[in-house]
Amino acid sequence: MSATIINTLLDKTKDLSLEETLSFLANEYQDKVIFSTSFGQEDQVITDFIFKNDIAIKVFTLDTGRLFQETYDVFHKTLKKYKKQIEVYFPEATAVENLLKEKGPNSFYDSVENRKECCFIRKVVPLRKALAGNAVWITGLRAEQSENRNDLQLFEYDGGFDIIKFNPLLKWTLEEVEDYLKEYNVPQNVLHKKGFVSIGCAPCTRAIFPGEDIRAGRWWWESSHKECGLHSAKKE
C-alpha cells in the first residue's frame, strides 16, 4: 500500500515546482501535513516557501533543552519576519530528570548507547508526539549531507514513524541553499559563518574543518553513522 501511495505522489508531482508540490500536499492531505524545522539553512528555505506563500502546512520544532542561544535567535527572528506560528515540542520532563539523576548531564560523551539514549529522550519521543495523526512529514534532508542519506528518495515511507516523508531539497547543493537564503533575505544562524554546517544540541556540535564531511561536527567524539534516530528509522 505504501509503495502505491509513494508512486502516485511521485507521478502527480513530477512536473510541479517545489511551491506547487507543497500546495498540492496541503490540499491532498488537509491539516495532516507537517514540517519539522531545526532552523538550519535547509529548514529555513522550506519555512520561507511555506510561510511567504501562506501554504496550509503546520510547522514545528523540537526544543531539546540543550540548543545554542544562536538557534533560539533564529527562531525569534523567523517569528518576527513571517508572523506565523511555529509549534514547539519538548521532551518529557520526568524522563530528562531521571536521565540526569542516574547518569549526569553529560552521559552522552561516555558511549554511543548513552548518546542515543539522550537523543531518544530529547528528540525521538517528542517527534513521535508531533507526528502523531499526520500523513506527510516534510524534512530538510539533502543527499549530500552524509553517506547514509544518499539513498533517500523524494517521497518515501518511514516505517519507524508510520508516515510518508517528503524531502523537497533532496537534490539541492549547499551552494543553492545558501544562494536562496541570501536572495530572499531569510534569517540564518550566525554559527553557519563560523564553520558550523549541521547544528544540533550545543554540547554535541562543533565547527568542521576544511575538507571534513558535513556531518563531522555532530557527535565528533564517536565514529557512528552520525544520526540521532529521527531519520534512521526502518523503511518498508
- 148 within a domain of the structure (yes/no): yes
Counting the structural domains of the chain, the total is 1
* Active site annotation includes 119: no
- 11 within a domain of the structure (yes/no): yes
Tens-digit pLDDT profile for residues 27-61: 999 999 999 999 999 999 999 999 999 999 999 99
Q: Determine whether 112 is exposed, middle or buried from the number of CB atoms within 10 Å of its CB (0-12, 13-18, 19+).
A: middle
Report residue 156: phi and psi, to 5°: -155, 160
Q: Is a pLDDT exceeding 50 seen at residue 236?
A: no
- 163 within a domain of the structure (yes/no): yes
pTM: 0.90
- Amino acid code (one letter) for 36: S
- 228 within a domain of the structure (yes/no): no
Report residue 86: phi and psi, to 5°: -125, 115
Q: Count CB atoms within 10 A of the CB of residue 233.
A: 16
- 218 within a domain of the structure (yes/no): no
Helix, strand, coil shares of the chain, percent, nearest 5, are 45, 10, 40
- 233 within a domain of the structure (yes/no): no
Q: Which of 119, 201, 204, 228 is flagged as catalytic?
A: 228
Query: Which residues are CB-neighbours of 119 under 8 A, at least 6 positions away?
Result: 108, 228, 229
Q: Is a pLDDT exceeding 70 seen at residue 233?
A: no
- 220 within a domain of the structure (yes/no): no
Domain that holds residue 103: 2-189
Establish how many alpha carbons lie within 13 A of residue 92's alpha carbon, considering only the half-sphere containing its beta carbon: 10
- 28 within a domain of the structure (yes/no): yes
Which CATH number do you get for residue 162? 3.40.50.620
**Selection from 129, 105, 99, 92 nearest residue 201 by Cα:** 105
pLDDT band at 144 (very low <50, low <70, confident <90, very high): confident
Tens-digit pLDDT profile for residues 18-29: 999 999 999 999
